[in-house]
A = this chain, B = another copy of it.
Amino acid sequence: MASDGFQPLTEKLLVEYLKVTPPLAAKLGNDLDKLQIKEVGDGNLNFVYIVSGPSGSIVIKQALPYIRCIGESWPMTKERAYFEASVLQEHGGLCPNHVPEVYHFDRKMCLIGMRYIEPPHIILRKGLIAGMEYPLLADHLSEYMARTLFYTSLLYRTTTDHKSAVAKFCGNVELCRLTEQVVFSDPYKVSEYNRWTTPYLDADAEAVREDNILKLEVAELKSKFCERSQALLHGDLHTGSIMVTPDSTQVIDPEFGFYGPMGFDIGAFIGNLILAYFSQDGHSEKEGARRLYKKWILKTILDTWNLFHTKFTALWDKHKDGSGEAYLPAIYNNPELQLLVKQKYMDDLFHDTLGFGAAKMIRRIVGVAHVEDFESIKEAAKRAECERKALNFAKTLLKERRNFHKINEVVSAIEDLDA
């Protein structure tokens, strides 16, 4: 064991650990001699074990001091487990229906014991590739985002609580730096980590690197990402961080959590839905077979923002006389002004959402980490065609985002580009 009390798990160690950790042992039925253990960490960063006992299953997640998929050559603080557990607990308290419960956290071991999100839950991204509809997805995700973002912002919090929480999450700087690099920097310069569907997109990738206006806009977004502590974000809210069934939606993996601009979370989700949309032609069993499914994705984008808007402003109304210090009731107490400030706030948030969403799309096409939506399109020419549409739409969205005022205008623009 390292002097800091950290030890990478093995199956044997895991069993020993569970035996001396009552809250976890209890979840498993306290009979720990016939456990089934499966390592399923298909993510890029961590060990993830599913442990099943006679009366239940749990997940054990352990952060390692490097990025697992690359190896020890790319070190990454294991303290991220502390921030992941903190966000799970904080967001879980605010939105228990859509955040898995944490049973146990061990800071030294960087180990989280948490709810096993049982089958038939699958990763949303895989469902979208398979063409599955999730009728409650927009409702659930808008609920998750509205509650987690509203309640951790100055619309609800006092300055004192806010600054203390901001200070704590400043500690998650290594993960923030990683995002800065892969989202806001690498795609806009020559980087050994970048890749794209070559040779088809060679000119497109170069065009991104040479687009002054795009880079000017990206700088503004990066500055907001680095400097604006608006709410406690998930920090990586793409469709691979969400597990779903037709009835249930669970948000996982918030290790990139920090106080940042709300639009970064909302944009991540919507941007990844747009990626899913543009990938559909590559998954279509025959011409037009995914036509209705594509309409469902667009409807989900539309509903997500509109429901988010409704729920977020409803929380604002509900708590307008509460402890939040952004808009004191004694100042903002007339209905006309309340409408004005809400409109301005939501407009700004909408534009942030589109900007961050577009940036998240771009980086998935010409940056280091790609998405299975496109990667699983075998034929490179076909894949490149889908990716190019997505990339062109993202560039437009990033540069022209202030000209959009309602989400249906965005949806129309997607349809126009795809026509």
Which A residues are within 8 Å of any B CB, using their own CB? Answer: 154, 159-160, 162-164, 166-168, 170-171, 173-174, 176-177, 180, 185, 188-190, 212-213, 215-216, 219-220, 222-223, 226-230, 325-328, 330-332, 334, 336-337, 340-341, 344
Which B residues are CB-close (under 8 A) to A228?
Answer: 227-229
* Interface of A, helix, strand, loop or mixed by DSSP: helix
**Beta-carbon contact of B164 and A170 below 8 Å:** yes
Considering only CB atoms, which chain B residue lies closest to A158 in the complex? B177
Given A154-B223, A159-B180, A173-B163, does the pair A185, B328 have CB atoms closer than 8 Å? yes
* Number of identical protomers: 2
Given contacts A160-B173, A216-B344, 8 further A-B contacts (CB under 8 A): A159-B226, A162-B226, A167-B170, A170-B170, A189-B328, A216-B341, A226-B325, A228-B228
Considering only CB atoms, which chain B residue lies closest to A216 in the complex? B340
CA distance A23 to B216 in the complex (A): 50
Greatest chain B CB density within 10 A among A170, A188, A229 is at A170
Which B residues are CB-close (under 8 A) to A212?
Answer: 334, 336-337, 340
User: Nearest 10 pairs between A and B by C-beta?
Assistant: A167-B170, A189-B330, A163-B170, A167-B167, A163-B173, A212-B337, A189-B331, A188-B331, A159-B177, A227-B228
**Beta-carbon contact of A332 and B167 below 8 Å:** no
**Beta-carbon contact of B337 and A190 below 8 Å:** no
Cβ distance A29 to chain B, nearest Cβ, rounded Å: 43
Which B residues are CB-close (under 8 A) to A223?
Answer: 154, 326
Of the residues B166, B190, B219, B336, contact of A341 by C-beta under 8 Å: B219
CA distance A328 to B223 in the complex (A): 12
**Beta-carbon contact of B185 and A160 below 8 Å:** no
Which B residues are CB-close (under 8 A) to A327?
Answer: 219
Cβ distance A200 to chain B, nearest Cβ, rounded Å: 24
CA distance A332 to B222 in the complex (A): 13
CA distance A334 to B326 in the complex (A): 40
Cβ distance A235 to chain B, nearest Cβ, rounded Å: 14
**Beta-carbon contact of B331 and A215 below 8 Å:** yes
Cβ distance A86 to chain B, nearest Cβ, rounded Å: 15
CA distance A308 to B380 in the complex (A): 53
Which B residues are CB-close (under 8 A) to A176?
Answer: 159, 163
Of the residues B162, B188, B226, contact of A326 by C-beta under 8 Å: B226
